[in-house]
Structure 1
Amino acid sequence: MTELVRIAPGALTIGRPLPWDVYDTDGNILLRQGYVIQTNSQLEQLFERGRFKPRKIERPQEEVFEDTRDRNPFADYPDLLHSLEATLNAITESDPSAQKRLLGLARMIERTCTESPDATLALVHLYSIGPVIHEQILFYAILCQFIGRQFGLEESRVAVLTAAALTANLALVPIADKLNASNTVLNDEQRSVIRKHPQRSIQALRAAGIDNKLLLTIIAQHHEQADGSGYPKGLSGTEIRPEAEILALAERYVAMITKRAYRQRMNVANARKLIANLADGKYRPAIPKALLQVLGEFPPGILVRLENNEVGVVTRRPVRARGPFVKAIFGPRGNRYSGTFERDTSEPDFGIQALEEPEIMPSMDFSLVWGFRS
C-alpha cells in the first residue's frame, strides 16, 4: 500500500470539493473525493487526522510517459495534475524527458476526453470555484480537445493544440496563484510579465528541445485578436491561427466561471450569453459557436433545479432528443437523498426550471454519481 502522507495546510479549501480521497492513519477512507468542506473546524480536523496517498511516478527516462489504463476522470484528476506539474518542471529544467512527458500527458488527456467526455467536461465545472494554476491549465487542455474537434480540426492538429494549452502559460506558473488571490490593481512589473509570458514560455520549450512550429505559433498568438487589439504583435484576421483563437477562448471561458479574490464567478447561463456575443470581430464566429455546442445549455457538472423541485447535478448532455440527464441529490422538500436518481430532463416532470447556485456546493462522491464504481 502506498504510504499515507499528512495533508499540508493550504492543500484544502472550504467550499471546494476534495481533489482526492482522504484516509485516517490506519488507511480507512474518511471522506471520498468530491466531499465539500463546510467549516473551519472540519478543515482543522482534516489537517490533524487526514492523510492522502501521494502519487509516485518513477519511470525510466527512455519510456514514453503515458498511462494506458481505462479512464475515470475523477480518479485520474490528481494524477493528471501531478503529471502536468512534473511535465512543466521538466520543461523548465530542460530535462531530456520533457518532450516525452508532454506528448504522453497530451495523449492521456485525449483518451480521457474521448472515453469519458461528459465526466471529463464535468471536471471543469466541479472544480472551477477557486482552481490553482495547474488546474486552470488542465481545464484549458480539456476544453481545447472538445472545441478543436467540434470546430473540425484533424486529429494531429488537436494533439498539437492540446500540447500548446498545457504549456502556453508556463512562464506564468510561478506567479499566477498569487495574482489570482490578490484584489489589488496589477503593477507595471506584473503587467510586463503577463504580456511577455507567451515568448518566455516559447523560450523554455525551445531550450527543452521542443520546437514544433505549430505548437510555438499557437502559443505566440494565443493573446492576439482578430480585430488587431491583441498582443504581442497586433495580428488580425487570418494572420492568427484558429488553434490560437481556440486556446484563447478556452482560457476566457475558464476565467468567466472561476472565482477570484477580486470578483465572483459567472454562472454558466451568463457565460454562454457572453460567448454568444464574442463573434464581434475578436474571434472567428465558428469558434464561439463550437464552444457553445460543446457545453450545451446545461453542461455536465453544474447544479440545476427541476420542475418537481428536486435539485441535482447534470451528468450527461442530450442524446438523440433526450436529456440532458441529471442525478437528483435533494428531494422537493430539500431533503438529501441517501443515493441519487437519474432524471431525463426531456420529460415534462423533470424539466430544468433554473440553475441552482448554492453558496457552498453539496458534497458528492463523483465517481459513484457518474457510475465509475459500484
Structure 2
Amino acid sequence: MLSTIKIYTTDLELGMFVSGLDRSWLDTPFAVQGFRLESHAQIEQLQDYCQYVLVDTLKSYQPEQALQSKLRNTRRRLPAERIFQGRDLRIYRDDSDFFQEQPLAEAALESLVDDLLDVYDKVSHGGNIDQIQLKRSVEPLIGSISRNPDACLWVARLKQHDEYSYHKALAVAIWSVSLGRELGLPRRDLRSLAMGGMLMDIGKLRVPTAVLRAERPLTGEEKKRVREHVVHGRQILAESGIHNQDVVDMIAYHHERFDGSGYPTGLKRDAIPAVARIAGIVDTYSALTSDRSYARAQSPSRAIRTLYEMRDVKFQAELVEAFIKAVGVYPAGSLVELSSGEVGVVVAESRTRRLRPKVMMLLDSEKRRLGEPRMVDLGLNPAGNDQQPPLVIRKSLQPGAYDIDLAAIELPAN
C-alpha cells in the first residue's frame, strides 16, 4: 500500500490529507506542512498555487482505492528536442529588464499594428498579403521577445484595439513567439510563429460578418461557415504566394485537438504539426481571456488553469506546461489580491519563482485607490521577517474587479 500519492489539484476532494506540494511551502500562504481538506475554498486556493500535491493515504478520510482512482494515466514526458526534431534548439536568456524593454516593445507593437491593419485591409478588398513587408514588420517584435518577453506580454494584455480580430491577431503572435522562445526554437522559427499567429484567422474575412458577430447560438449551417475560415485562410496564403510550411500548418490545423476532436480533419496527437499544436494553445488562451459576443473573458490565471486541465486531452501536456512557464502562473495583466488585502496587477513574472511576480499595487488593504501606483517585486520577499510572513498572492480576481480599467493604467517611473 502506498502511503503517499501524487494527485493533480484539479482532482482534489474534501477529506484528502495534503502532505506535500509541488513547490516550496515558503512560496505559498499555507502555514503548516500538512493539512486535511475541509472546505472547497482550500481546494481552490491550492489550485491557485499548485499543479499537483502529495496526498497521505493513511491520514485521508478516503480509502486508498478511491484515491488511486484519481491518478491519471499520464504518459512519459517528451523533451522539446523530440517534439521539434531537426530544429536547432537553443537557450534564451534575458538580455534586458522589463523597464529597459518596455519602450522598445511599445514601439515595435505600434509599428506592427499599423502593418497588420494594412494587411487585413488589403485582403478584405481582394488583395494579397505582402509577405516581405510582414517579415520585416515582425522583426522588432521578435527582437524584443528574444531579449525579454515580459514587456510585450504586458502590452499584449493592456493594448486593446477597437476591432477584436486585430487585437487577437497581435496577441496570438506575441504569445506564440513567447512560447517558441521558452521551447528554444531558433529565430527563423519565431518569425514563422509570429506570422502564423497574425494570419491565423485571416480566413474569417471571407465569412459573413453577421455570422461571426451573432449574439445567439449558431445554426448548423452557420457553424459550418465559420469553420470554413480555415480553408479560406489557406487559399489566401496560396494566392499571396506564402508557402512557409509552418505558417501554412498554423492556419490549416490550429483547430485540431490532441484527442482527435478538432477540425477540419480530426487529426490526433503527433499527426498534428508541432507548430499547429502551439497555435491551438495560444488561440484558445486568447479566446478564453477575451470578451466575445457569446462569452465573458476569464481572468488570465483562470484561463491558465483551464488549459492545464485540458493537458493531454485537447492539448499536448509538454506544450501546455511550456506555455505556463512562458507567460506565468499569473500572466501579465492579472488582477490579484495579496495576503495584505492590497490589490494590484501583475506586470512581469519571475523566471525562477513563478508564484512571485512583479506586481503594480493599485488599491490599499481597504480597497481604496492609491494616490500613486507602486511596484512590488514579490520575488524579493517583501515584508518578510520574524513577525510578518512574506507578501504573497492570495487569489486572482476577475477582469474589471473594483472597477479597475487596465487600459487606463500607466506604469510608474522605474
Task: Show the counterpart of 1:338.
Answer: 371
Partner letter of residue 214 of structure 1? D
Pairing partner for 1:164 from 196, 210, 216: 196
Identity within the alignment, %: 23
Name the TM-score, length of structure 2 as normaliser: 0.65
- Relative distance call for 1:252 and 1:332 in structure 2 (3 A) is same
Partner letter of residue 234 of structure 1? G
Task: Show the counterpart of 1:132.
Answer: 164
For 1:118 and 1:221, the matched residues in 2 are separated by: 28
1:192 aligns with 2:224: yes
Select the structure with the greater relative contact order (CA < 8 A; seq sep ≥ 6): 1
Please identify, of 318-327 and 361-370, the stretch whose mean Cα deviation from structure 2 is larger.
361-370
Deviations 1:153-205 (A, max 9, x none): 33222221221111121111465875565320113443222222122112112
For the 8 Å contact 2:178–2:327, the answer to whether it is kept is no
For 2:234 and 2:106, the matched residues in 1 are separated by: 31
Cα deviation for residue 326 of structure 1 reads: 1.0
Pairing partner for 2:255 from 223, 236, 251: 223
- Relative distance call for 1:335 and 1:366 in structure 2 (3 A) is closer
Task: Show the counterpart of 1:44.
Answer: none
Please identify, of 322-331 and 254-263, the stretch whose mean Cα deviation from structure 2 is larger.
322-331
Task: Show the counterpart of 1:17.
Answer: none
Pairing partner for 1:255 from 287, 290, 295: 287
Please identify, of 174-183 and 346-355, the stretch whose mean Cα deviation from structure 2 is larger.
174-183
For the 8 Å contact 2:157–2:171, the answer to whether it is kept is no
Task: Show the counterpart of 2:404.
Answer: 361
Pairing partner for 1:308 from 322, 335, 340: 340
For the 8 Å contact 1:129–1:258, the answer to whether it is kept is no
For 1:99 and 1:251, the matched residues in 2 are separated by: 22
Task: Show the counterpart of 1:351.
Answer: 392
- Relative distance call for 1:351 and 1:176 in structure 2 (3 A) is farther
Partner letter of residue 335 of structure 1? R
Task: Show the counterpart of 1:15.
Answer: none
Deviations 1:42-67 (A, max 9, x none): xxxxxxxxxxxxxxxxxxxxxxxxxx
Gap runs ≥5 in structure 2: 1-100, 382-388
1:207 aligns with 2:239: yes
For 2:156 and 2:410, the matched residues in 1 are separated by: 15
Pairing partner for 2:308 from 262, 276, 280: 276
For 1:302 and 1:72, the matched residues in 2 are separated by: 22
For the 8 Å contact 1:132–1:177, the answer to whether it is kept is no
Partner letter of residue 395 of structure 2? A
Cα deviation for residue 126 of structure 1 reads: 2.9
Deviations 1:38-93 (A, max 9, x none): xxxxxxxxxxxxxxxxxxxxxxxxxxxxxxx9954345544432221112334556
For 1:369 and 1:177, the matched residues in 2 are separated by: 40
For 1:129 and 1:304, the matched residues in 2 are separated by: 24
For the 8 Å contact 2:230–2:251, the answer to whether it is kept is yes
For 1:370 and 1:258, the matched residues in 2 are separated by: 29
3-state SS of the aligned residue for 1:368? coil
Task: Show the counterpart of 2:276.
Answer: 244
Deviations 1:11-54 (A, max 9, x none): xxxxxxxxxxxxxxxxxxxxxxxxxxxxxxxxxxxxxxxxxxxx
Give the 5 Å matches for 1:1-374.
71-74=103-106, 77-91=109-123, 98-127=130-159, 132-173=164-205, 181-321=213-353, 323-346=356-379, 347=381, 348-357=389-398, 358=401, 360-362=403-405, 366=409, 368-369=411-412, 371=414
3-state SS of the aligned residue for 2:374? strand
Figure out how many residues of one structure are paired with residues of the other and give that number: 303
Cα deviation for residue 103 of structure 1 reads: 0.7
For the 8 Å contact 1:312–1:329, the answer to whether it is kept is yes
Cα deviation for residue 314 of structure 1 reads: 1.1
Deviations 1:112-168 (A, max 9, x none): 323452121123433579961100111111110011222333322222122111112
Which one has the largest radius of gyration? 2
Cα deviation for residue 214 of structure 1 reads: 2.9
Gap runs ≥5 in structure 1: 1-68
Partner letter of residue 354 of structure 1? K
For the 8 Å contact 2:256–2:267, the answer to whether it is kept is yes
Please identify, of 293-302 and 260-269, the stretch whose mean Cα deviation from structure 2 is larger.
260-269
- Relative distance call for 1:80 and 1:176 in structure 2 (3 A) is farther
For 1:136 and 1:237, the matched residues in 2 are separated by: 26
3-state SS of the aligned residue for 1:312? strand
For 2:266 and 2:210, the matched residues in 1 are separated by: 28
Name the TM-score, length of structure 1 as normaliser: 0.71
For the 8 Å contact 2:288–2:297, the answer to whether it is kept is yes
For 1:332 and 1:119, the matched residues in 2 are separated by: 27
For 2:112 and 2:288, the matched residues in 1 are separated by: 23
Cα deviation for residue 350 of structure 1 reads: 2.5
For 2:397 and 2:263, the matched residues in 1 are separated by: 38
Partner letter of residue 287 of structure 2? A
